[in-house]
């Protein structure tokens, strides 16, 4: 059984990371870096949330959840 909060936070991080990657790849990135910067901050906040939760989550500590956070841009 998975921790529902771990699952939710992992999904949120994946969505934020995808948004950041999309913003970085967008043709208007050279014109508007502010959007990409905002997306990066959102991604980092999501990363911090999941790291904090996993440090106290009994399930994550027992099962050594996959390291989704290691493969970030």
Domain limits, the chain: 4-70
Q: DSSP states of 6-41 as a string?
A: HHHHHHHHHHHHHHHHHHHHSGGGGT-HHHHHHHHH
pTM (2 decimals)? 0.71
Report the pLDDT value the prediction gives residue 14, as an integer from 0 to 100: 94
Q: Is the pLDDT of residue 20 over 70?
A: yes
Q: Is the pLDDT of residue 65 over 60?
A: no
Q: CA geometry: angle at 51 spanning 41 and 22, to 5°?
A: 35
């Amino acid at each position: 059984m998975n921790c529902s909060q771990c699952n939710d936070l992992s999904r949120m991080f994946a969505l934020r990371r995808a948004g950041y990657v999309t913003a970085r790849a967008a043709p208007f990135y050279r014109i508007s870096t502010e959007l990409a910067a905002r997306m990066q901050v959102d991604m980092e906040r999501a990363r911090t949330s999941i790291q904090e939760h996993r440090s106290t989550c009994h399930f994550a500590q027992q099962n050594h959840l996959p390291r989704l956070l290691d493969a970030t841009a």
